[in-house]
Amino acid sequence: MIMNLDRSVSPEVKPINRVDIPLPEKCELSNGIPVFSFDLTELDLIRIEIVFKSGSAHEHSTLGADFTAKMLREGTVARSGKEIADYIDYHGSFIEQTISKDITTFTLFTLTKFVHQTIEVLAEIIASPIFPENELETLKKNELQKFQVNMHKNSIACKHEFGKLLYPKSHPYFSDIHANDFDVNREQLIEHHKQFLNLSDATIFIAGKVTKDIIKTIDSVIGKVKNRRSKNLEINRIEQAIGTKVLLPKNDAVQSAIRIGRLLPFKKSSDDFIPFQVLNTLLGGYFSSRLMANIREDKGFTYGIGSGLLANLSSTIFLIATEVNVNSTGETIKEISYEMDRLKTEKVSNSELNRVKKFMIGSFLRSSDGPFNVSDKYKSSYFHGLDNEFNSLYLSKIQDVSSENIRDLAIKYLNDKDMIEVVVGNR
């Protein structure tokens, strides 16, 4: 049957109010380690993540968590670092580690036919690293050199100073790294590994082409690890920092780096979180945002400016960041304040708000496509204590945000007295 299409008539556009993100298959290994698997592709590829609920906030010595994670691949009781690298490379696989304030993750990408060979190596580097002295000295030199080079960059120095001001020194999230902190020793890494990276305390997320045989293979390797509880450090939530303004002058600077932001007194589960995401996107969260339109397109002060919302497990951060010519520093800060004040005094038009909503909905749909993205969505909700309805209802909650909501949130949270302002360069 041939259909005659009238191409002069646009197809009906329907709002998307709900997306049901696939839920994982849940099981436990023989020793009780929880496993969440997403069998969502026919490609013979799989990603296995071994996740520990401990990060840089749990370290007892500065950089201890970061160096421990990076050193695990440098040698085990059975293999040298070179042998590990060669073996993983031979099987067309890849291992990486990531670390945040709250979480340390070891990730294996491999073909399904090589799961048994490669998961053995991943488990081995986590369970029995030896932290060889020569490799540690090399890592220390490389990381120190990288740090020293980066700290000459205004943007990095600004990020570093802004991070210091967010938290009191007594809080585990506080970070103030100096060159002498890179002089970590092997005993510190052994102790951090012993206290916080016990395989029996891990949570495993698997995405790709997941079969029962693969689960059995992982259980045969990791399920036999004896239970040994890691040290549990509860981190108190922090919801407010002292508003302040800091200038770190650099007389020879061509550009100034600017960071303005604050801690927000709500969690990812709060009723204010998603509406504030809409506010943030409107202000500086995408290319057509108000900050970009004003400071880049109209004033020509910068190539890029943006704002963001970062939800740690024990804090939520809002920040604006940019780099501008030193002669435009003061005017840029003035315009940033102007745009935040506009949100408090003027209602956003329906057309602008709808444009922001469409962008956010499209971004959410793209970030929910494919097994790895679906697993990431679930993993984030899992560690934040959210059920899957957070993702399923996310789009409808975006649609429900009104211009009045935006104005009320701006009045509540975008006050100059609450902001931390850091400038590295000149005003």
For domain 25-222, give the CATH number: 3.30.830.10
Q: Is 400 helix (H, G, I), strand (E, B) or coil?
A: helix
**Residue segments in the chain with a per-residue pLDDT below the cut of 50:** none
pTM assigned to the model: 0.92
What does the pLDDT look like over 341-356, one tens digit per residue?
Answer: 999 999 999 999 999 9
* Predicted pLDDT at 349: 97
Q: What is the DSSP string of 293-349?
A: IIIIIIT---S-EEEEEEE-SS-EEEEEEEEEEGGGHHHHHHHHHHHHHHHHHSPPP
Q: What is the β-pairing status of strands 420-425 and 25-28?
A: unpaired
Inter-residue contact 163 to 190 (CB < 8 Å): no
* Predicted pLDDT at 229: 64
* Predicted pLDDT at 10: 83
* Predicted pLDDT at 232: 65
* Predicted pLDDT at 15: 79
Q: Scanning the structure block, which residue is given the tokens 């679930």?
A: 378
CATH superfamily of 244-425: Metalloenzyme, LuxS/M16 peptidase-like (3.30.830.10)
Q: Where in the chain is the domain with CATH 3.30.830.10?
A: 25-222, 244-425
* Predicted pLDDT at 228: 67
Q: At what angle do helices 329-345 and 403-413 cross, to 10 degrees?
A: 130
- Per-residue b/e over 207-216, b at no fewer than 16 CB within 10 Å? bbbbeeebbe
Task: Based on DSSP, count helices (H) and strands (E) in the chain, helices before strands.
Answer: 15, 11
SS3 track for 353-366: HHHHHHHHHHHHHH
What does the pLDDT look like over 28-55, one tens digit per residue?
Answer: 999 999 999 999 999 999 999 999 999 9
* Predicted pLDDT at 231: 64
Q: Scanning the structure block, which residue is given the tokens 């004033």?
A: 299
* Predicted pLDDT at 230: 62
